[in-house]
Amino acid sequence: MRTITCEAHAKINLALDVLGRREDGYHLVRMVMQEIGIHDSLKFTVQGISAGSPYIALHTESQDIPTGPDNLIVHAACVMCDAYDIRDTIDIELTKNIPVAAGLAGGSTDAACVFRALRDLYVPEIPDEELQALALPLGADIPYCIAGGTRLAEGIGEKLTGLAPAPRCHLVLVKPPQGISTGEIYRAIDAMDHLDHPDIDGMIACIESGDLAGMAGRCSNVLESVTGKRIPLIGQIEAFLMGKGALTARMSGSGPSVFAIFEEKERAQEALEAFRREEAFKDCYSVCTDFV
């Protein structure tokens, strides 16, 4: 029996642009992705068996996560077992901290954790690039989640370029209670005649030079033009946090989560405490965190 425990970190999109759509329906994007401190925890216990197929079991106390074969964690484990002829019993215990359906890649980062953990247990010589190619059919965010850090993502999200670490700062992260369909958001984007594209090259230059204010000022997400209209609370959250001293407050992914960037930890904590006192925001998930 062998056991390994891994952290699966959430991500935010410091900038997200949509450049078009491929014939297969996947959208071409250009994004600056950033790993953040909030994370799930996955414990893997593996036991060898003499013959037969692998047995994969997922356990969690979360009421929001199905544990059957359709779960992305189980699917990722099956892909690894098929690719590297793993036939063991694999028991996975998930402690869920990242909000679901939040635009934070919670499912993708859990799947990425499976790829990394089973690689480390069975085929440690396999590089990240091979794992990323294996993972891509399961989800376009998973290759980034395997790599982590601060990266430019292009193509459908699989073409990754490492950037300098983003300037040090502190975040208030908020998820409104409303949900949103990612497919619905992208269909609405496809129907739009004009998009205000983020200055991603300018953001990258600010990151490389350590210019926090310049980076924050270029945070932008084309999907917010759609999601923000469907969930007005997003704009209200952003305005509140900007009023509490945030350098910027923007939506991550297709939403509805909002991140606000603060230069000082104390200001971020004060803003979070004030946010939690507001009756209008009482049903929101909210937390302070940092870049990883």
| Cβ neighbour number for residue 125 with a 10 Å cutoff | 6
Over range 225-246, report the average pLDDT: 97
Q: What's the pLDDT at 131?
A: 97
Shortest CA distance to 108 belongs to which of 49, 161, 158, 171? 158
Q: Is the entire prediction scored with pTM above 0.85?
A: yes
In which residue ranges of the chain is CATH 3.30.70.890 found? 170-290
Over range 46-75, report the average pLDDT: 86
| DSSP SS3 for 25 | coil
Single-letter amino acid code for the residue at 125? E
CATH number at 2-162: 3.30.230.10
List, in order, residues 6 or more apart from 163 with CB less than 8 Å away. 32, 149, 150, 151, 152, 204, 207, 208
**Known catalytic membership, residue 193:** no
Catalytic residue of the set 11, 96, 175, 244:
11
pLDDT digits (tens, 9 = 90+) for 156-181: 999 999 999 999 999 999 999 998 88
Alpha helices for the chain (secondary structure H): 72-84, 106-122, 128-135, 142-147, 182-190, 200-209, 212-217, 224-230, 233-243, 265-277
Q: What is the C-alpha to C-alpha distance for residues 77 and 117, in angstroms, rounded to an integer? A: 10
Phi-psi region of 230 (alpha: psi -120 to 50; beta: other; left: phi over 0): alpha
In which residue ranges of the chain is CATH 3.30.230.10 found? 2-162
Catalytic residue of the set 17, 40, 88, 141:
141
Shortest CA distance to 107 belongs to which of 10, 36, 15, 30? 10
pLDDT digits (tens, 9 = 90+) for 110-133: 999 999 999 999 999 999 999 999
Residue 50 has pLDDT above 60, yes or no: no
Residue 49 has pLDDT above 80, yes or no: no
Residue 168: DSSP 8-state: P
Residue 220 C-alpha from the chain's centroid: 16
Least confident range from 29-33, 60-64, 146-150: namely 60-64
Do the beta carbons of residue 15 and residue 203 sit within 8 Å? Answer: yes
What is 48-107 written as a DSSP string? Answer: --SSS--EEEEEES-TT---STTSHHHHHHHHHHHHHT--SEEEEEEE--SPSSSSS-HH
What would you measure as the largest C-alpha separation in the chain, in angstroms?
A: 62
**Known catalytic membership, residue 175:** no
* CATH classification number, 170-290, choose in 3.40.50.1820, 3.30.70.890, 3.90.950.10, 3.30.70.1140: 3.30.70.890
pLDDT digits (tens, 9 = 90+) for 250-287: 999 999 999 999 999 999 999 999 999 999 999 999 99
